[in-house]
Amino acid sequence: MSKVAAVIGGGVIGGGWAARFLLNGWDVQVYDPDPQAERKIGEVMANARRSLPGLTDVALPAEGELRFCASIAEAVAGAEWIQESVPERLEIKHATFAEVQATCARDAVIGSSTSGFKPSELQQGAARPGQIMVAHPFNPVYLLPLIELVPGDAGEEALVERAKATLTSLGMHPLHLKKEIDAHVADRFLEAVWREALWLVKDGIATTEEIDDAIRYGFGIRWAQMGLFETYRVAGGEAGMKHFMAQFGPALKWPWTKLMDVPEFNEELVDLIAGQSDAQSGHHSIRELERIRDNNLVTMMRGLKAQNWGAGALLNAQEKLMRADEPAAADLSADQLVRTARRTVPLDWTDYNGHMTESRYLHAFADATDRFMEIIGCDADYIQSGGSYFTAETHIRHLDEVHAGAVIEIETQVIMGEGKKMHLFHTMREGERVLATGEHFLLHVSLETRKPSAPSPEIEANLVRFAQGHARLPKPEGLGRAIGAVR
């Protein structure tokens, strides 16, 4: 049975939470008195469906069920996670928690999306204060992994641990803050930067566009992968962090920020900034900008995934969890084809023709080959020990188009496998529709000499088992074909 999450308040943030849960197979029960809530969540879901599933190289589980409820009591019934994303006013939050706790399960996590309030403030007057914790996400919630998890002194340890496990299973990173503070951690930085930015615009030093360029062409792209301190550690060089700080320390006394003052927040300032923002980005609608942003985030996060770093390392950790229920090699029958991939075509795999671009077919086939190698024992440890397979020859037939967001599956037939040689035939499908076939001839090599060599006896035995079993299956259509041979 699916797990159930309750989402109380369904704006951009609540909708993002709903998307995270639904796309990870949870059922979601939404309470939001706004008559526009269904439309708004629908728009967030559309964005999430096009971007999240392709982040990992394993398909997500079947989407859960979304249900709109007429009351908080109905929404929290059966829920093991309840996420509050109502407006940032303490009395509204308190009233919401009172209603939630009147009927919810005693061991459900109650997370608050608040960006400013401390857990001790949220917990004031609650029936069970230890059940309520800050779980502060970042927009877009369906893509960005950071959650500031702040249980405060009243937080129940067992519940906090369960909250962390749940967030991790959703592909998020719970940053567990042990001490509470106004605005937690990330928003303190956002606030400091926001104040400074308002000054720079107000004083006519730079426009909103110039400020954005100063961020995204410089430190923004640094911070996307290493943050502040690790970036400075590298900048300090071999002399180390102490040396770096000695250099940077005195600047604290210099007039480099407007820290001592806050600009007056009046209509004039709002008009100035809104006008500049229109000039900068007004040629794109918000919907377009959302899609552009998500395309950018997906391509950068998938890039970091290939480097196994930062947000990409989190994706790999999530994928490992998702792969935990894959069958062991010994349990796979050699009497049938091996399923070597089930994944969603990522947003950044499409090209100017509006479909998956040709090299990504080979990307998916190569990953399927890697998976088959892993199945027969040629895994990361074995490769580390000095042996691997190199592809010598490839033949691809592109039979039909496929688009970002489609779930594709690859089945693999061993055509021949003995000694150093391995001949595989992959068939890629979306549902019943055959999209492409990939035929590959590989040689086992020594990574030291870079020359063909015998695989380990275990690998050869596993390969031969599949080769013998698959020899009894029909030969695939298109096998051994050459370009031009038929024409």
Site for its own copies in 1-60 (CB under 8 A): 12
Q: How near is the Cβ of 388 to its own copies at its closest, in Å?
A: 5
DSSP 120-164: HHHHTT-SSGGGEEEEE--SSTTT--EEEEE--TT--HHHHHHHH
Q: Which two tokens stand for residue 324?
A: 């935990």
CB of 101 to its own copies, least distance (A): 27
Among 58, 73, 441, 453, binds its own copies (CB under 8 A): 441
CA dist 170 and 54 (Å) reads 14
Which of 390, 458, 473, 477 is the binder for its own copies (CB under 8 A)?
A: 390
Task: Give the DSSP H or E segment for 396.
Answer: strand 387-398
Using CB under 8 A, which of 70, 217, 457, 474 touches its own copies? 217
Can residue 317 be called a binding residue for its own copies (CB under 8 A)? no
Residues within window 238-297 making contact with its own copies, judged by CB under 8 A:
238, 240-242, 245-246, 248-260, 262-263, 265, 270-271, 273-274, 276-278, 280-281, 286, 289-290, 292-293, 295-297
Q: In the bound complex, what is the minimum distance in angstroms from residue 305's beta carbon to its own copies? A: 9
Question: Could you say whether residue 362 binds its own copies (CB under 8 A)?
Answer: yes
**Alpha-carbon distance 224 to 309, whole Å?**
10
Cis bond before residue 455 (omega within 30° of 0): no
Assess contact for 372 and 366: CB atoms under 8 A: no
3: phi then psi, degrees, rounded to nearest 5: -80, 155
Which residues are within 8 A (CB) of 443 and not within 5 positions of it... i.e. 6 or more apart? 389, 390, 392, 420, 421, 422, 452
Among 188, 320, 342, 475, binds its own copies (CB under 8 A): 188
Options 74, 80, 121, 187; binder of its own copies; rule CB under 8 A: 187
Among 325, 353, 381, 451, binds its own copies (CB under 8 A): 353
Q: Does 190 bind its own copies (CB under 8 A)?
A: yes
Nearer to its own copies, 196 or 409 (CB): 196
Question: What's 452's DSSP letter?
Answer: B
Indicate the residue type of 402: V
Phi, then psi, of 88 in degrees rounded to 5: -80, 60
391-430: contacts with its own copies (CB under 8 A): 391-398, 401, 415-416, 423
Please list every residue from 111 through 150 that binds its own copies, using CB under 8 A. Answer: 116, 138-139, 144-146, 148
Least Å from the CB of residue 87 to its own copies: 9
CA-CA distance, 40 to 192, in Å (whole number)? 31
90 contacts its own copies (rule: CB under 8 A): no
Residues 197-216 that bind its own copies (CB under 8 A): 197-198, 200, 203-206, 208-216
How far, in Å, CA of 213 to CA of 424, rounded?
48
Min separation Cβ 148 and its own copies, Å: 7
CB 417 within 8 A of CB 444: no
| Choices 51-59, 100-108, 228-236, 405-413 (CB under 8 A): range interacting with its own copies | 228-236
